[in-house]
């Protein structure tokens, strides 16, 4: 997820083409398509930033406090290394790389979803509603999965692969709505922890950038090449802002959330 190389709306079409065997790849013949220097550079920078988040969190004693956020970053680094290995062994156009890319992305999206619910737990810690948050998250995840299944089952012969792509995209939008609700709770409950506020706002910016990006890709499918440059850049935002929050903002820092709202409260 962090180091997406392709555009997601074209992703589904790519899956169809490759799984239908209408495109060349190691399984089908030549393997001449590779990521360019730009994609490699952004990928490397993004992975480096994800590792930086972990280092910053450990150095500032925030690893255990924000365990799921850090686990997500650790998983992103591992996925990135594994993707590079598979890419160098099998090639960019191979089924192996494609399947690994989408299935790892699917797992990372779910992990990010749970990281977001852990932020809910931080905000509602004093109300002791952790059990309800976990139940709510599971219900929402199941609902999104069912909706995604309903969407793909009518139109696809490669059900599982299409399902994986569809649910990842839908979870981004669900994540965006959940972050907005969480931001509302921050303002309502007058949460003052600056670091926590910055982590939430960063995830909100990240989800909304990707959700807008997916929607734009669906609307302007003919301009896919623009998104191939933009999408990986968006992926760098979350590790960059989290690294900043862990490194620069002390856990004790406090801010008045009402001052941050767009509409004054």
Partner 1 sequence: MMAGIILACSVVLLLQFFVSYCRSLIAASSRQTLSPEVQDVTGIQRTASGEDYTRVMQLLQLCPERPEDRNSIQAVSVYFRLLNFLRSTIARMVPTMQEWTELERGHCAYFAAVALERRISFSRDMLAEQMDG
Selected binder of partner 1 within 35, 173, 230, 233 (CB under 8 A): 173
- Roughly how many angstroms between the first and final C-alpha of the chain, as a whole number? 35
Q: Which residues contact 48 (CB under 8 A, 6 or more apart)?
A: none
Whole-angstrom CA distances from 259 to 185, 208, 265 are 15, 22, 8
Q: Is 44 in the site for partner 1 (CB under 8 A)?
A: no
Q: Is 244 in the site for partner 1 (CB under 8 A)?
A: yes
CA distance 246 to 50: 12
CA 149 to chain centroid, in Å, comes to 20
Selected binder of partner 1 within 48, 107, 216, 230 (CB under 8 A): 216
The nearest distance, CB 105 to partner 1, in angstroms, is 19
With CB under 8 A, what is the number of residues at the site for partner 1? Answer: 34
Binding part of the chain for partner 1, among 69-77, 106-114, 156-164, 246-254 by CB under 8 A, reads 246-254
The nearest distance, CB 116 to partner 1, in angstroms, is 13
Nearer to partner 1, 58 or 261 (CB): 261
Q: Is 41 in the site for partner 1 (CB under 8 A)?
A: no
Most distant CA atoms of the chain, gap in Å: 62
Cα dihedral: 36, 84, 144, 173 (round 10): -40
Q: Is 196 in the site for partner 1 (CB under 8 A)?
A: no
Whole-angstrom CA distances from 60 to 85, 185, 250 are 31, 26, 8
Q: Is 256 in the site for partner 1 (CB under 8 A)?
A: yes
Q: Is 262 in the site for partner 1 (CB under 8 A)?
A: yes
Selected binder of partner 1 within 120, 197, 235, 238 (CB under 8 A): 197
CA distance 218 to 10: 8
The burial class, CB within 10 Å (0-12 / 13-18 / 19+), for 51 is middle
Nearer to partner 1, 121 or 255 (CB): 255
Q: Where is 203: in which H helix or E strand?
A: helix 194-219
- Determine the angle formed by the axes of helices 8-19 and 159-188, rounding to 10 degrees: 160
Q: Is 179 in the site for partner 1 (CB under 8 A)?
A: yes
Site string for partner 1, 75-114 (x = CB under 8 A): ----------------------------------------
Nearer to partner 1, 79 or 249 (CB): 249
The nearest distance, CB 253 to partner 1, in angstroms, is 7
Selected binder of partner 1 within 13, 212, 229, 265 (CB under 8 A): 212
Q: Is 240 in the site for partner 1 (CB under 8 A)?
A: yes
DSSP codes of every residue in 216-261: HHHH-GGGHHHHHHHHHHHHHHHHHHHHHHHHHS-TT-B--GGGT-
Q: Which residues contact partner 1 (rule: CB under 8 A)?
A: 173, 176, 179-180, 183, 194, 197-198, 201-202, 204-205, 208-209, 211-212, 214-216, 218-219, 240-241, 244, 247-249, 253, 255-256, 259-262
């Amino acid at each position: 997820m962090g180091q997406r190389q392709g555009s997601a709306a074209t992703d589904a079409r790519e899956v169809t083409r490759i799984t239908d065997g209408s495109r060349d790849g190691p399984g089908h013949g030549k393997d001449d398509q590779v990521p360019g220097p730009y994609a490699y550079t952004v990928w490397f920078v993004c992975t480096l930033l994800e590792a930086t988040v972990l280092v910053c969190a450990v150095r500032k004693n925030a690893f255990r406090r924000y365990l799921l956020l850090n686990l997500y970053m650790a998983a992103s680094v591992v996925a990135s290394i594994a993707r590079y290995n598979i890419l160098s062994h099998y090639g960019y156009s191979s089924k192996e790389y494609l399947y690994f890319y989408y299935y790892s992305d699917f797992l990372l999206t779910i992990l990010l979803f749970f990281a977001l619910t852990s932020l809910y737990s931080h905000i509602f810690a004093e109300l002791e509603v952790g059990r309800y948050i976990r139940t709510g998250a599971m219900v929402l995840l199941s609902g999104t999965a069912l909706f995604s299944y309903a969407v793909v089952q009518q139109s696809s012969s490669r059900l599982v692969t299409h399902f994986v792509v569809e649910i990842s995209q839908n979870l981004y939008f669900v994540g965006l709505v959940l972050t907005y609700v969480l931001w509302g709770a921050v303002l309502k409950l007058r949460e003052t922890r600056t670091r926590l506020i910055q982590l939430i706002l960063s995830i909100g910016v990240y989800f909304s950038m990707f959700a807008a990006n997916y929607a734009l890709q669906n609307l302007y499918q003919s301009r896919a090449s623009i998104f191939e440059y933009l999408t990986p850049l968006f992926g760098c935002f979350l590790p960059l802002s989290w690294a900043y929050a862990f490194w620069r903002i002390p856990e004790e820092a406090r801010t008045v959330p009402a001052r941050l709202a767009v509409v004054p409260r």
